[in-house]
Chain A
Amino acid sequence: MLKWKVGLAALAATLVCGAANAQQINVKIGVLTDMASLYADDTGLGSVAAANLAAKDFMKGHPNVKVEVVSADHQNKPDVATGIASKWFDVDHVDMITDVPTSSVALALMPVAAQKNKALIYSGPGSSDITGSKCNANTVHWTYDTWMLANGTGKAIVKNGGDTWFFITADYAFGHALERDTSAVVKANGGKVLGAVSVPINNSDFSSFLLQAQQSKAKIIGLANAGGDTINAIKQGAEFGIAAGGQKFAGLLIFAPDIKALGLKAAQGLMFTETFYWDMNDGTRAWTKRWDKERNAPGKLPSMNMAGVYSGTLAYLEAVVAVGSAKDGKAVVDKMKTMSFKDPLFGTTTVRADGRGIHPAYLFEVKKPEESKGPGDLYKLRATIPADEAFRPLKDGGCPLVKG
């Protein structure tokens, strides 16, 4: 449905400006996301809506460019994703794939894009290896990564007095990476890690692990997990009197839709780092209104991933115009690394040599129920981390693209 609307809008634009001699550029973008499972509310159809908005906005200002958006559900499975991506690249003339939540999937796609010389603008996955040891020249990593989360949340909390930590970690590579990165930050800032427990993913009951966390007497319980696991841990933490016992949770990977699912009563006081919040300023509020109309489903909030799809896609399209064509993925990505992008959602973003998109990060705290003025009023801003401090230093990543 939306594909047709986008196509028609583009056609109308080109007809109106037929007199202009600008060269016609065609771009096809694929939103590969999680529509039915763990991350569906943080990405999924919301990301598709964001991409559609970006296409529409860009075509309005550039009548000689035709942008088409397609989408698919990768079900968080690496082989399904590579199958869809290969078909998109080989048969359907897709030039760029965006979003791609779930790091294992994102990592699996990178060699495919490199081999076929297409572009990847990631907003969904978290692994800092994407711009680290596994970096490649066809990938740009927008929005966030685990290093930024660990550094933003960990450092700020330790400096705030939370200097003893106990981790509840989801037992898979991503969870362990999150724990490892945050542990390092905690220790580097003078804190201590008193213990950790590894929990199978999709576990519903955390009572046993919360009990262990309580017995450790650590001031901060770090949740190195995501989605339903985080929500369950926090919800049950409220039940077991974690806050009453003087302990606090640190959510290492948590998004606005998750906070909404928890409700302010359970989530109040939670501190975490994000790069976008719908209610930050007039620009974000206006965009959210338009996103809401495009998304066309009641009661949804845009997450930072979705905002990143919008912002990253716009930036990509600007680079395509600068290069003149979308066919050479590496050329477009190289061009992105020389440009600077401004939008109302992230402010100014620049792309480094390792593919990392840099923009400011924010430390948020969840409001108490009595502080909230409405259903979407969830966060208060505690601190702003400037762009050059928020992400891992270029030399520390181990990316082969970085010289010296």
Chain B
Amino acid sequence: MATIFGIPLMALFGQLLIGLINGSFYALLSLGLAVIFGMLNIINFAHGALYMLGAVTAYLLLNYAGIGYWPALIIAPIVIGVLGMVIERLLLQWLYKLDHLYGLLLTFGLALILEGVARNYLGTAGLPYSLPDSLRGGHNLGFMYLPNYRAWVIAVSLVVCFGTWFAIERTRLGANLRAATENPTLVRALGINVPRMITLTYGFGVALAAFAGVMAAPIYNVSPNMGSELIIVVFAVVVIGGMGSILGAIFSGFGLGVVEGLTKVFYPEASSTVIFVVMAVVLLVRPGGLFGRRA
């Protein structure tokens, strides 16, 4: 069998595919973060906690209302999105004129609160949530066994990512939003309700995080800590892609998934740290990230 650096070629393909799958998760998560930063200039540290709440909502829907995975994919993001809008109106709107630092600190505090409360009611070991029956099983691709659910994840991720990018970069609504970020007074003068747009945008970014949470629930352990483990990695992804850039977040999400996947094969112990190495290198070489605007 052909080998590269001692690893069979077939095995490497399998790992690359897995890397892409993980990357699609990163892309989905960092998308919401990029939207929120790009449009609101808020560094949303609560993103991980909101992702977790999406997964928890899916669990609660299943356990207490008998509502399964498919409806949860729609209901949970809406519920958490509304929560996001409440947060924006109550807490975040006072911070837009201030330094980035304050938004980051406030959302960091928010994350602590959300996770702590969830922990108190749900414990830390985790909550059971199984794969939906229609997505069980998988196919043997020769070089690996691909679970159907993972294929589903890539497909959904691509659709959502490019859908969002299209909506923001290519539609009128998106154009209004981008204009409102650059010059809110002027856009307001044109009759557009800027504060409402901003609230809805934050809600949308949060809904994306919750959506990723529901997608994660069947395969990752649903526990109050699940967000805090991912949040700084997702941060790194967004920074590498360029903090305001949607496309940057998508590409760096997928790209970093692959890089991490390769590291898991050749130097697995470093797989949690490799993203930071990449981040440091990218920031030193290209100041604004790969696709981003200058700091």
CA A378 to CA B97, docked complex, whole Å = 55
Is B171 close to A, CB under 8 A?
Answer: no
Given A36-B119, A205-B22, the answer on whether A228 and B128 have CB atoms closer than 8 Å is no
Q: How far is the CA of A265 from the CA of B223 in the complex (A)?
A: 18
| Option from B8, B124, B226, B270 in Cβ contact (under 8 Å) with A204 | B226
For the complex, what is the distance from the CA of A207 to the CA of B19, rounded to whole Å?
9
Residue B272 is within 8 A (CB to CB) of chain A in the complex: yes
A258 on interface, CB distance cutoff 8 Å: yes
Q: Chain A contacts of B25 at CB under 8 A? A: 205
Segment touching B, from A51-59, A236-244, A318-326: A236-244
Q: Which residues of B contact A211 (CB under 8 A)?
A: 11, 14-15, 18, 144
Give chain A nearest CB distance to B244 CB in angstroms. Answer: 27
Any A CB within 8 A of the CB of B264: yes
B125 at the interface (CB under 8 A from A): yes
Q: Which of A212, A232, A258 contacts B220 (CB 8 A)?
A: A232
Q: A285 in the interface, Cβ–Cβ < 8 Å? A: no
CB B262 to nearest CB in A, in angstroms, measures 9
CB of B225 within 8 Å of the partner chain? yes
What is the interface size of chain A, counting residues whose CB is below 8 A from a CB of the partner?
A: 43
B149: chain A residues within 8 A (beta carbon): 239
B269 within 8 A of A: yes
A200 near B269 with CB under 8 A, answer: yes
Contacts of A197 in B (CB 8 A): 268
Is the C-beta of A163 less than 8 angstroms from some C-beta in chain B? no
A-side contacts of B145, CB under 8 Å: 214, 240-241, 245
Q: Judge whether B126 and A215 touch: CB under 8 Å.
A: no
Please state if B226 and A265 are interface contacts (CB–CB under 8 Å). no
Which of the residues A36, A215, A227, A240 comes within 8 Å of B138, measured between beta carbons?
A240
Chain A residue numbers with a CB within 8 Å of B130 are: 263, 265-266
**Inside 8 A of A352's CB, which chain B residues have their CB?**
none
Least CB separation from A37: chain B residue = B124
* Residue of A198, A228, A238 touching B126 (CB-CB under 8 A): A228
Q: Is the CB of B264 within 8 A of A208?
A: yes
Residues on A with C-beta less than 8 A from B83 are none
B229 and A202 contact, CB distance less than 8 A: yes
Whether B147 is near chain A, meaning CB under 8 Å from some CB there, is yes
Task: Find out whether the CB atom of B124 lies under 8 angstroms from the CB atom of A207.
Answer: no
Contact A208 B265 (CB under 8 A): yes
A214 CA to B138 CA, complexed, in Å: 15
- Interface positions of B from 2 to 61, Cβ below 8 Å from A: 8, 11, 14-15, 18-19, 21-22, 25
Nearest CB of A to B89, in Å: 30
Q: B22 contacts which chain A residues (CB < 8 A)?
A: 205, 207
The 0/1 profile, CB within 8 Å of B marked 1, for residues 375-387 of chain A is 0000000000000
Within 8 A of A (CB), among B44-99: none
Within the complex, the shortest CB–CB distance from B21 to chain A, in Å, comes to 7
Set of chain B residues within 8 Å of A208, measured between Cβ atoms: 15, 18-19, 261, 264-265, 268
Chain A residues in 8 Å Cβ range of B116? 36
Size of B's binding interface in residues, CB under 8 A: 45
Per-residue B-contact encoding for A142-156, CB less than 8 Å = 1, 0 else: 000000000000000
Min CB–CB distance A366 → chain B (angstroms)? 13
A327 proximal to B (CB < 8 A):
no
A263 & B11 in contact (Cβ 8 Å cutoff) = no
Interface positions, chain B 131-186, Cβ under 8 Å from A, are 131, 137-138, 144-145, 147, 149-150
Chain A residue nearest in CB terms to B25: A205
- Which of B14, B18, B223 lies in contact with A261, CB distance below 8 A? B223
Question: Shortest CB–CB separation between residue A106 and chain B, in angstroms?
Answer: 19
Please give the distance in Å from B15's CB to the nearest CB on chain A: 6
Q: Are A240 and B123 in contact (CB under 8 A)?
A: no
- A209 contacts across to B, CB distance below 8 A: 264, 268
CA distance A167 to B35 in the complex (A): 41
| Contact indicator B18/A207 (Cβ below 8 Å) | yes
- Find out whether the CB atom of A227 lies under 8 angstroms from the CB atom of B125: yes
Expressed in whole angstroms, the minimum distance between the Cβ of B116 and any Cβ of chain A is 7
Which residues of B sit under 8 angstroms from A236, Cβ to Cβ? Answer: 219-220
The residues of B that contact A202 with a CB separation of less than 8 Å are 229, 272
Cα A245 to Cα B261 in complex, Å, equals: 23
Q: Mark A221-248, 1 if CB is under 8 A from B, else 0.
A: 0000001100110011011110001000
A261 and B138 contact, Cβ closer than 8 Å, known pairs A40-B123, A198-B268, A211-B18? no
A260-289 to B contact mask, C-beta < 8 Å, 1/0: 111101100000000000000000000000
4 nearest A-B residue pairs (beta carbon): A263-B128, A261-B126, A41-B125, A200-B272
Interchain residue pairs with CB less than 8 A apart (26): A37-B225, A38-B124, A38-B225, A39-B124, A40-B119, A40-B125, A199-B268, A208-B19, A208-B264, A208-B265, A209-B268, A212-B11, A214-B145, A227-B124, A227-B125, A228-B225, A231-B125, A239-B131, A239-B138, A239-B147, A239-B150, A239-B219, A240-B147, A258-B125, A261-B221, A266-B130
